[in-house]
């Protein structure tokens, strides 16, 4: 069982809606500092503001690449990754080119992810030699089981750190069975992030039990406030 502090450190607190304002980003960052989440996830335009707000804190700044459909050209996504790291992002949530993948152009998808990983880390080396964490979104609701397995292998072989289930824009992005499948494919050493519709402690715990080790949600504060390890222990007896 996790302590409340350990549980919060498994959450990426997310604000990726188009209508989000500077004040919303500032509020997100201040709440993240209060609850000590793993990271905040903001759209690329807001990276600089989030970095400023989270200076000298234990919260990472994460942003998106190719959001939400992954269908930008490879060079565009590589530039976006470099720009994000230059602006201070320490983690990237990269949307795989889903259309290219489902068309069978696996070599293109693998090369794109590898290029983004390389570009992000080379950009990071110019600042303080920290490695940039790259999480690749495979958008599980759009894939068959065989496609999910293939996507996991492609992403792992391309050098990414995490496989993430969904952008949150597709239905049922945080399916427990998907997490269980992904973990069975990638083994214990690779990160697995669940995202999309995580709104309750029970759902969060089911995903963690299935093999996720990071959760992306815009309702992080409510979930952490509702998390009571003593009550969960009682319920499990």
For residue 203 the two structure tokens come to 């759902």
- Residue-level pLDDT at 170: 87
Contacts of 91 (CB under 8 A, 6+ apart): 39, 60, 61, 62, 63, 132, 133, 134, 135
Q: Is 12 a catalytic residue?
A: no
- Residue-level pLDDT at 171: 83
Domains (ranges, CATH) in the chain? 65-236 (3.20.20.70)
Q: What is the pLDDT of residues 91-118, one digit of tens each?
A: 999 999 999 999 999 999 999 999 999 9
Residues 50-74 have a mean pLDDT of 97
Catalytic entry in 77, 164, 175, 178: 164
Q: What is the pLDDT of residues 218-233, one digit of tens each?
A: 999 999 999 998 887 7
Q: Is 193 a catalytic residue?
A: yes
Residues 61-82 have a mean pLDDT of 97
Catalytic entry in 12, 93, 175, 178: 93
Residues 42-61 have a mean pLDDT of 97
Residues 50-63 have a mean pLDDT of 97
Q: What percentage of the chain exceeds 90 in pLDDT?
A: 89
Q: How far apart are CA 71 and CA 108, in angstroms?
A: 12
From its phi and psi, is residue 74 left (phi > 0), alpha (psi between -120 and 50) or beta? alpha
Q: What is the pLDDT of residues 101-160, one digit of tens each?
A: 999 999 999 999 999 999 998 865 544 556 899 999 999 999 999 999 999 999 999 999
- Residue-level pLDDT at 126: 46
Catalytic entry in 60, 77, 148, 193: 193
Is cis: bond before 68, omega within 30 of 0? yes
Predicted confidence band at 172 (pLDDT cuts at 50, 70, 90)?
Answer: confident
Q: Is 77 a catalytic residue?
A: no
Residues 50-78 have a mean pLDDT of 97
- SS3 assignment, position 92: strand
Neighbours of 46 (CB within 10 A): 25
- Residue-level pLDDT at 125: 54
Q: How far apart are CA 85 and CA 186, in angstroms?
A: 26
């Amino acid at each position: 069982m996790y302590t409340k502090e350990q549980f919060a450190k498994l959450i990426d607190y997310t604000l990726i809606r188009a209508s989000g304002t500077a004040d919303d980003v500032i509020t997100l960052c201040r709440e993240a500092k209060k609850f000590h989440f793993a990271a905040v996830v903001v759209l690329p335009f807001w990276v600089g503001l989030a970095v400023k707000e989270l200076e000298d804190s234990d919260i990472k700044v994460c942003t998106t690449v190719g959001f939400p459909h992954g269908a930008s050209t490879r060079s565009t996504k590589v530039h976006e990754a470099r720009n994000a790291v230059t602006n201070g992002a320490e983690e990237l949530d990269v949307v795989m080119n889903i259309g290219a993948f489902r068309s069978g152009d696996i070599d293109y998808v693998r090369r794109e992810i590898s290029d983004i990983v390389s570009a992000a880390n080379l950009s990071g080396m110019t600042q303080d030699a920290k490695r940039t964490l790259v999480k690749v979104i495979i958008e599980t609701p759009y894939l068959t089981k065989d496609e999910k397995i293939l996507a996991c292998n492609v992403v792992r072989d391309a050098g990414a750190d995490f496989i993430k289930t969904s952008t949150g824009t597709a239905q049922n992005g945080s399916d427990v069975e998907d997490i269980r499948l992904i973990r069975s494919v990638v083994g214990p050493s690779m990160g697995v992030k669940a995202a999309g519709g995580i709104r309750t402690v029970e759902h969060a715990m089911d995903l963690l039990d299935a093999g996720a080790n990071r959760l992306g949600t815009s309702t992080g504060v409510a979930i952490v406030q509702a998390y009571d390890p003593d009550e969960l222990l009682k319920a499990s007896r």
